[in-house]
Amino acid sequence: MIEQSIQFIDTHAHLSLTQFEQDREVAVERATHAQVARIIEIGFDLASSRAAIALAEAYPQIFAVVGVQPNHLNELPEAWLSELRAMAAHPRVVAIGEIGLDFYWMKAPLEAQEQAFRAQLALARELGLPVVIHSRDAATDTLRILDHAARGQPGVMHSFLGDWSFAQGCLDVGFMLSFSGPLTFSKSTALHEVARLAPVDRLLTETDSPYLSPNPLRGQRNEPANVALIARQLAALRKEPLPDVAKQVWTNAEQLFSKLRA
């Protein structure tokens, strides 16, 4: 029997950002060498959503997610939602995101954030696509909206950094939890608990590159190759073999982002 080699997936990266201007191609190559066989490139406004599609067209291992994040609502053209709808028809667009609420930066009032969030949840439902959720300092309102507008809809809470109570709320709505660099920090004890307690079929891994580098690379620019460190930490916390965890995360990602299988 041939043992299948481990394959990792980075479900959330921003390779289109200027931090990768000098070495984007090399960063993608490093990911391949680190056995990161798939990368999901996430849009946060219209331009980065278009860039995500361009990357997905350029690299067979990259897929795209299109959406407008709550910190980027202010300069949207009137027809932004129909532009997103048109982009989402692309065969390599696997979800709508990142969308949600951000009360840390609060660049738009709650009402405007909620309206854009709900409009994109409805768009995803209309198109039969999953959603990638951004929620910063906004757990209660995020759950209120998801509970009302996204129950039964497939989705993931990206870069999950909350406690078990918030995790339970997300799981209850039916969402997956995606772990990022902070899972590797020794002080993230509440997060470690979430990683131990979460059901095995709800776990995902991501880098959120270029942000949130895991240990021991904290403070450096993050890149998709580093998702292996997060999978390793997830396996250690759950006391499960790394190949099993990697395989399960891969399966979970294909379950959530069904266009990955097409």
Using CB under 5 A, list all residues that contact Ni ion. 208
- The least CB distance from residue 209 to Ni ion, in Å, is 9
The continuous run of DSSP H or E covering 94 comes out as strand 93-102
Nearer to Ni ion, 124 or 235 (CB): 124
Q: Which two tokens stand for residue 92?
A: 């390599």
Q: Which residue is nearest to Ni ion (CB)?
A: 208
- The least CB distance from residue 198 to Ni ion, in Å, is 20
Nearer to Ni ion, 43 or 235 (CB): 43
Query: Tokens 């080699």 correspond to what residue?
Result: 5
Count of helix runs (H) and strand runs (E) in the chain: 9, 8
Nearer to Ni ion, 208 or 223 (CB): 208
Nearer to Ni ion, 180 or 233 (CB): 180
Residue 15: other Cβ atoms inside 10 A = 24
Least Cα distance to 173 among 144, 201, 205 occurs for: 144
- The least CB distance from residue 97 to Ni ion, in Å, is 8
Q: Are 215 and 243 in contact (CB under 8 A)?
A: no
- The least CB distance from residue 12 to Ni ion, in Å, is 6
Nearer to Ni ion, 17 or 110 (CB): 17
Q: Are 102 and 70 in contact (CB under 8 A)?
A: yes
- The least CB distance from residue 42 to Ni ion, in Å, is 5
Nearer to Ni ion, 40 or 229 (CB): 40
Secondary structure class of 10 (helix, strand, coil): strand
- The least CB distance from residue 225 to Ni ion, in Å, is 17
Q: Are 10 and 41 in contact (CB under 8 A)?
A: no
Query: Tokens 């979970």 correspond to what residue?
Result: 252
